[in-house]
């Protein structure tokens, strides 16, 4: 607010010109009262050296005005840096201060320097004494002519039963009361909220006129919704103005459950000893009871607690009011009750008998006596010793700030000390008084203090100076203090401290002479009935209030507007309402016969009858309605979930490629209408590929399972594993998805079984015979690895044996070593034999004779392998070879990924070579793709430097674009540059197959689900999250383009 101080360094006695800018950020023209002070902040407030107060002109909304304010510095001001405090308040229509709006402090704008020493002037003649005029009596309080928020109060609703099942009847009673100053018609709005706070049911509005300060109960009947815990929200509005007068949210009002309620029995409710305060009382005292209890039963139901006071002979002397409530299960709760001890109560020891009943069945659930919980005394206990007058000493209070306006907060510190012989509780009464000794402001009594003996204490009190009609007049005020003993009510100290607080004088300009726009306030009109038909009569009341200080006749004009924007006949009236009093302009309106259906608005304008100046204008929407005839209900249709699918029956559950399986799918229409259905089913292989579509159109009877049967011929290229079945059911005419489910593992393709006659020659081939180490000496242990390639898809064991031959003799140096080797399917398996070189061996290359037999087919076909491998290892020094020989470099493994490819897919061919030699020369490797007619593709050649006695892998990619479906072989050739070939092998391991076509989406395959926007109510510039959800009713997942406008 404070923009600038013209002279920043001033001497005491000079005047600081201060520029102050006041801006109206509201939406109504407003006058403001401004107070400027210079001083310094301190611990309890602001110490002011000088203060000036002025009132602004009327400032329009969204504009500002700058004022130059002189701030005279007193001659007694202490030099130094000063802080400027600016405070602003709103001036009401009667010229009084109605609200304190802002308070700001500005530092660094003003500094006071030492004054120059000048001879003191002659002292002026003393002014005549000024006798202050007596204060004006306060204006009588203004009786409100309308209700405001809080004038209607609600009690927790009562729902019977508190726990119900879906579809059950619920009775809701809402207790409420109008505690305001007027009796007016009210409109009650109620809603049922689910556990997420979302409204699931709006109860019908109720319009009624309750009496003042008279409890009323409004009732509703409804059908229990889906299972859950529900809350109730209620709100009351004034019918004529539409103002909200009261509202309430009551969580856990009732519960809906699918389970049947299990009735409670005796013992399901546990009682604990009651809490009695005080436990010693006299006749006339009020005793509070708290009854602890817990529902440990199986159901949460309303229960009723009854208690009675009994003497030592179990004679009932008083009965407490029963308490009905619905506690949570296994949760402790306290049931409160009070008792005023009757005057005729006999002294003695009394107990409490407690019983708990089920409200619905009146079944006794718990009962227990609690003897000796309260004692009735004949005479009060002896009083504590009291202090006398003068035993409490008072020091001058500290008031901060010591200069304040209406609406300011003032702190009062009161130093005192108990110098008596006892520590007792005190009552301190404070009164702010003016110079004439009047008591314009009483502070609340303080009964919280019991100071220790001979110890100074300083309690602090905070008071907000009243505003408006109750505001204190300008002047100096003191503080009148009385200290009493709390129990004996005897005075202990009394003092008056004058001149602690100053309220500056505030001169306000005269009120305006003419009405302006905004001086008249319009409220929502009252229309009865709110639903009417053309030709009906209707009563319309327009509430109008003149909130200015000028009394003048007003002209009201109103026109109803139909849904098409056409105006009805003009309604007009001239009247002169009293100031600040809501006045109703009433009309009886005959609706024309030509009115159309829909909601009607009303345009209202109020003018000054003498000057025709517009004072208020507003359009009220939806004041009454011409109802629309409801359309006929739509015919019943099927929806998702109206068709049930059962697990399909597949025979046989294990099948081989090329065989036929029978699939039966059970479908049941449980919807409201019988319709023609279309069933679509697709088997899915273990790699996620879809088989041919199975489809059928049929019309099953309602609530009758119907079998849709298929004979499916399995393709020859099926892989082994478990197969799923995707099933979807659509309405044949609309394409709407009614059911969809994936059934896993409906049938299995098992691995192929070995032939009954066993293996035959050619089913397995000897891949390599490798001795480790390649060079061995006397006594060394040689590991001989014999590798076989299983060319069949069967995992079977074989019998393997070897003979070891030296380089010269024809007989082996060792007898046959044998082992049983389990072969892997379509892969390489290795069997290791170990041999120890004798002490004096024959040096040179040693050969290994390998035998392999199938135990099943040996009698018919003989040995599967009888092959001698020359130079498997060397005993003694091995001459270094120059080139690789056939058998030195072998293909250990050939892996094709994927084994079954679609046209256009890139196939990766990984070849693993094992070098059995001790040299690592450069080898050229070429790969050709062949079909039955010859070479289809020649892949780019690659070079290989195989590490001695190690495995090396090369990868060749093959693009199958344009390749027809079929089986393909891989031919691998390898040779050193300029040397004969050492590898020429073929593998029949690649399958190219075109998958069945995937259909496109059609209308109805993709449906839009409810759109959710968060938050529902936003401000300009706020981000909104919009969730758009689609449901795919088909068995395919293609990409789709989505746009939102």
Angle 508-511-517 from CA coordinates, rounded to 5°: 125
Domain boundary among 731, 749, 767: 749
At 141, the pLDDT band (50, 70, 90 cuts) reads very low
Q: Are residues 620 and 653 in the same domain?
A: no
Q: Are residues 159 and 200 in the same domain?
A: yes
Q: Are residues 346 and 278 in the same domain?
A: yes
- Nearest Cα residue to 913 out of 847, 975, 837, 831: 975
Domain boundary among 717, 749, 781: 749
At 826, the pLDDT band (50, 70, 90 cuts) reads confident
The pTM is what?
Answer: 0.28
At 929, the pLDDT band (50, 70, 90 cuts) reads very high
- Provide the pLDDT for residue 815: 64
d(CA 782, CA 797): 25
Q: Is the pLDDT of residue 143 over 50?
A: no
Q: Is the pLDDT of residue 545 over 50?
A: yes
Residue 837 lies in a domain: yes
Q: Are residues 687 and 721 in the same domain?
A: yes
If one compares 94 and 174, the residue with the highest pLDDT of the two is: 174
Q: Are residues 426 and 491 in the same domain?
A: yes
Residue 33 near residue 53 (C-beta atoms within 8 A): yes
Q: Is the pLDDT of residue 1 over 70?
A: no
The highest-confidence range among 281-285, 405-409, 429-433, 727-731, by mean pLDDT, is 727-731
d(CA 435, CA 437): 5
Residue 582 near residue 604 (C-beta atoms within 8 A): no
Using a pLDDT cut of 90, give the percent of the chain over it.
Answer: 28
- Provide the pLDDT for residue 178: 92
- Name residue, tokens 């926007």: 1013
468: phi > 0 → left, psi -120 to 50 → alpha, else beta; which? left
Residue 305 maps to which CATH number? 2.60.40.3880
Q: Are residues 872 and 761 in the same domain?
A: yes
Residue 506, φ and ψ in degrees, nearest 5? -125, 110
Residue 139 lies in a domain: no
- Provide the pLDDT for residue 306: 94
Mean pLDDT within 660-673: 92
Q: Are residues 758 and 792 in the same domain?
A: yes
Mean pLDDT within 132-142: 49
- Name residue, tokens 């008998």: 353
Residue 813 lies in a domain: yes
Q: Are residues 872 and 986 in the same domain?
A: no
**Residues in CB range of 52: below 8 A, 6 or more apart:** 35, 36, 37, 69, 70, 71, 72
Residue 19 maps to which CATH number? 2.60.40.10
Residue 940 maps to which CATH number? 2.60.40.770
Residue 576 lies in a domain: yes
If one compares 422 and 425, the residue with the highest pLDDT of the two is: 425
**Residues in CB range of 534: below 8 A, 6 or more apart:** 591, 592, 593, 594, 595, 626
Q: Are residues 491 and 549 in the same domain?
A: no
Q: Is the pLDDT of residue 236 over 70?
A: yes
Residue 91 lies in a domain: yes
Compute the Cα dihedral for 193, 198, 201, 206 and give only its sign: positive
- Provide the pLDDT for residue 131: 47
Q: Is the pLDDT of residue 139 over 60?
A: no
Lowest pLDDT segment from 305-314, 448-457, 498-507: 498-507
Q: Are residues 330 and 275 in the same domain?
A: yes
Q: Is the pLDDT of residue 98 over 70?
A: no
Question: In a 10 Å sphere around its CB, with 0-12 CB exposed, 13-18 middle and 19+ buried, how is residue 558 labelled?
Answer: buried
At 128, the pLDDT band (50, 70, 90 cuts) reads low
Q: Are residues 649 and 695 in the same domain?
A: yes
Q: Are residues 1043 and 985 in the same domain?
A: no
Residue 338 lies in a domain: yes
Lowest pLDDT segment from 112-126, 648-662, 713-727: 112-126
Residue 845 maps to which CATH number? 2.60.40.1930
Lowest pLDDT segment from 116-120, 510-514, 834-838: 116-120
Q: Express each pLDDT in 561-613 by its tens digit.
A: 999 888 888 889 999 999 888 888 888 888 888 888 899 999 999 999 988 89
Residue 572 near residue 585 (C-beta atoms within 8 A): no
Mean pLDDT estimate for the chain: 84
If one compares 785 and 9, the residue with the highest pLDDT of the two is: 785
**Could you give the maximum distance between any two Cα atoms of the chain, in Å?**
155
Q: Express each pLDDT in 946-1002 by its tens digit.
A: 988 888 999 999 998 988 888 889 999 999 998 888 888 887 678 887 776 667 788
- Provide the pLDDT for residue 956: 93
Mean pLDDT within 181-192: 91
At 144, the pLDDT band (50, 70, 90 cuts) reads very low
Mean pLDDT within 111-115: 79
Mean pLDDT within 484-492: 87
Mean pLDDT within 740-744: 93
What tokens appear for 138 in the block? 């306060």
* Domain count for the chain: 9
Lowest pLDDT segment from 74-88, 120-134, 606-620: 120-134
DSSP states of 641-669: TSEEE---EEESSB--TT-EEEEEEEEEE
Mean pLDDT within 440-447: 86
Lowest pLDDT segment from 165-179, 481-495, 874-888: 874-888
- Provide the pLDDT for residue 270: 93
At 95, the pLDDT band (50, 70, 90 cuts) reads low
Residue 231 lies in a domain: yes
- Nearest Cα residue to 680 out of 637, 721, 731, 640: 731
At 130, the pLDDT band (50, 70, 90 cuts) reads very low
Angle 904-906-912 from CA coordinates, rounded to 5°: 155
Let me know how long the chain is: 1045
Q: Express each pLDDT in 371-422 by its tens digit.
A: 988 888 766 655 555 678 888 999 999 999 988 888 889 999 999 999 888 8
Q: Give residue 1027's domain range.
A: 1002-1045
DSSP states of 279-341: SEE-TT-EEEEEEEEEE-SSS---EEEEEEEE-TT--EEEEPPPEEE-PPBT-EEEEEEEEEP
If one compares 714 and 440, the residue with the highest pLDDT of the two is: 714
Domain boundary among 846, 876, 906: 876
Mean pLDDT within 614-623: 91
- Nearest Cα residue to 508 out of 92, 165, 1036, 204: 92
Mean pLDDT within 260-279: 87
Q: Is the pLDDT of residue 934 over 80?
A: yes
Q: Express each pLDDT in 26-76 by its tens digit.
A: 888 888 888 888 887 754 457 677 788 778 888 888 888 888 888 888 877
500: phi > 0 → left, psi -120 to 50 → alpha, else beta; which? alpha
Residue 188 near residue 218 (C-beta atoms within 8 A): yes
Residue 596 near residue 564 (C-beta atoms within 8 A): yes
Q: Is the pLDDT of residue 366 over 50?
A: yes
Strands (E), 56-168: 64-72, 80-91, 97-112, 152-154, 158-160, 163-164
Residue 525 lies in a domain: yes
- Provide the pLDDT for residue 1007: 87
β-sheet with 163-164: strand ranges across: 163-164, 244-256, 228-238, 186-193, 199-208
Q: Is the pLDDT of residue 180 over 80?
A: yes
């Amino acid at each position: 607010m404070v923009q600038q101080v013209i002279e920043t360094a001033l001497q005491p006695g000079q005047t600081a010109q201060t520029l102050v800018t006041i801006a109206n950020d509201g939406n109504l023209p407003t006058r403001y009262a401004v107070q400027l002070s210079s001083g310094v902040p301190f611990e309890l407030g602001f110490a002011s050296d000088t203060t000036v107060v002025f009132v602004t002109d009327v400032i329009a909304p969204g504009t500002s005005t700058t004022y130059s304010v002189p701030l005279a510095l007193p001659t007694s001001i202490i030099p130094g840096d000063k802080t400027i405090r600016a405070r602003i308040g709103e001036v009401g229509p009667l010229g009084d201060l109605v609200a304190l709006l802002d308070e700001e402090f500005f530092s660094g704008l003003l500094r006071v320097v030492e004054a120059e020493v000048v001879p003191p002037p002659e002292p002026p003649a003393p002014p005549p004494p000024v006798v202050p005029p007596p204060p004006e009596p306060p204006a009588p309080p203004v009786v409100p002519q309308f209700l405001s928020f809080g004038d209607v109060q609600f009690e927790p609703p009562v729902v019977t039963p508190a726990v119900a099942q879906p579809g059950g009847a619920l009775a809701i009673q809402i207790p409420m009361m109008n505690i305001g100053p007027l009796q007016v018609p009210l409109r009650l709005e109620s809603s049922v909220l689910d556990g997420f706070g979302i409204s699931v049911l709006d109860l019908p509005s109720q319009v009624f006129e309750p009496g003042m300060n008279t409890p009323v109960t409004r009732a509703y009947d409804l059908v229990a919704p889906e299972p859950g815990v529900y809350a109730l929200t209620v709100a009351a509005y004034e019918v004529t103005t539409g103002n909200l007068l009261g509202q309430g949210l009551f969580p856990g009002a009732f519960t809906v459950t699918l389970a049947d309620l299990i009735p409670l029995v005796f013992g399901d409710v546990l009682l604990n000893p009651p809490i009695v305060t005080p436990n010693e009382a006299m006749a006339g005292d009020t005793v509070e009871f708290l009854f602890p209890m817990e529902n440990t039963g199986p159901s949460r139901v309303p229960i009723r607690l009854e208690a009675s006071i009994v003497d030592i002979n179990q004679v009932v002397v008083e009965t407490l009011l029963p308490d009905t409530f619905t506690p949570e299960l296994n949760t402790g709760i306290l049931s409160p009750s009070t008792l005023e001890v009757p005057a005729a109560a006999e002294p003695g020891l009394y107990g409490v008998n407690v019983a708990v009943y089920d409200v619905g069945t009146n079944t006794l659930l718990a009962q227990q006596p609690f003897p000796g919980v309260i004692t009735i005394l004949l005479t009060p206990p002896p009083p504590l010793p009291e202090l006398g007058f003068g035993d409490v000493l008072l020091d001058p209070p500290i008031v901060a700030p010591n200069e304040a306006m209406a609406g300011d907060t003032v702190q009062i510190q009161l130093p005192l000390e108990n110098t008596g012989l006892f520590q007792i509780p005190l009552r301190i009464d404070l009164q702010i008084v003016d110079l004439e000794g009047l008591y314009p402001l009483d502070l609340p009594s303080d009964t919280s203090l019991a100071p220790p003996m001979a110890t100074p204490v300083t309690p602090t009190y905070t008071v907000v100076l009243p505003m408006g009609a109750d505001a204190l007049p300008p002047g100096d005020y003191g503080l009148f203090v009385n200290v009493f003993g709390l129990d004996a009510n005897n005075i202990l100290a009394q003092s008056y401290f004058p001149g602690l607080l100053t309220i500056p004088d505030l001169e306000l300009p005269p009120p305006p002479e003419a009405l302006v726009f905004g001086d008249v306030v319009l409220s929502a009109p009252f229309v009865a009935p709110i639903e009417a038909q053309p030709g009906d009569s209707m009563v319309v009341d327009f509430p109008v209030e003149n909130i200015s200080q000028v009394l003048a006749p007003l002209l009201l004009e109103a026109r109803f507007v139909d849904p098409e924007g056409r105006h009805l006949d003009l309604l007009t009236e001239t009247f002169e309402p009293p100031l600040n009093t809501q006045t109703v302009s009433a009309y009886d309106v005959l609706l024309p016969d030509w009115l159309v259906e829909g909601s009607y608005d009303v345009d209202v304008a109020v003018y000054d009858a003498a000057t025709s100046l517009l004072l208020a204008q507003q359009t009220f929407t939806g004041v009454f309605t011409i109802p629309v005839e409801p359309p006929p209900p739509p015919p019943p249709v099927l929806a998702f979930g109206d068709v049930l699918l059962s697990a399909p029956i597949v025979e046989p559950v294990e099948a081989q490629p090329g065989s036929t399986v029978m699939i039966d799918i059970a479908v049941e229409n449980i919807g409201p209408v019988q319709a023609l259905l279309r069933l679509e089913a697709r088997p899915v292989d273990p790699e996620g590929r879809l088989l041919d579509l199975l489809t059928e159109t049929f019309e099953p009877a309602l609530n009758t399972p119907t079998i849709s049967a298929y004979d499916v011929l399995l393709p020859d290229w099926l892989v082994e594993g478990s197969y799923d079945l995707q099933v979807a059911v659509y309405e044949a005419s609309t394409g709407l998805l009614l059911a969809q489910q994936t059934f896993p593992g409906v049938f299995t393709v098992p691995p192929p079984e070995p032939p009954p006659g066993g293996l035959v020659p050619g089913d397995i081939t000897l891949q390599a015979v490798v001795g480790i180490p390649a060079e061995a000496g006397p006594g060394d242990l040689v590991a001989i690895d014999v590798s076989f390639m299983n060319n069949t898809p069967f995992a079977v064991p074989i019998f393997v044996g070897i003979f070891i031959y030296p380089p010269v003799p024809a007989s082996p140096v060792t007898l046959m070593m044998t082992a049983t080797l389990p072969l892997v399917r379509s892969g390489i398996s290795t069997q290791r034999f170990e041999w120890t070189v004798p002490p004096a061996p024959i040096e040179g290359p040693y050969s290994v004779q390998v035998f392999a037999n199938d135990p099943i087919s040996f009698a018919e076909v003989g040995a599967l392998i009888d092959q001698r491998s020359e130079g498997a290892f060397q005993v003694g020094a091995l001459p270094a070879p120059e080139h690789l020989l056939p058998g030195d470099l072998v293909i250990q493994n050939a892996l094709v990924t994927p084994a079954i490819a679609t046209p256009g897919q890139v196939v990766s061919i990984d070849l693993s070579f094992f070098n059995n030699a001790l040299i690592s020369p450069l080898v050229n490797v070429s790969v050709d793709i062949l079909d039955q007619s010859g070479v289809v593709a020649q892949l780019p050649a690659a070079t290989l430097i195989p590490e001695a006695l190690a495995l090396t892998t090369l990868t060749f990619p093959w693009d199958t674009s344009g390749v027809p479906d079929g089986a393909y072989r891989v031919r691998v050739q390898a040779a050193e540059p300029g040397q004969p070939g050492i590898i020429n092998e073929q593998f029949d391991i690649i399958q190219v197959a075109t998958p069945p076509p995937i259909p496109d989406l059609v209308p109805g395959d993709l449906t839009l689900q409810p759109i959710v926007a968060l938050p529902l109510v936003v401000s300009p510039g706020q981000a909104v999250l919009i969730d758009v959800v689609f449901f795919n009713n088909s068995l395919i997942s293609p990409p789709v383009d989505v746009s939102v406008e």
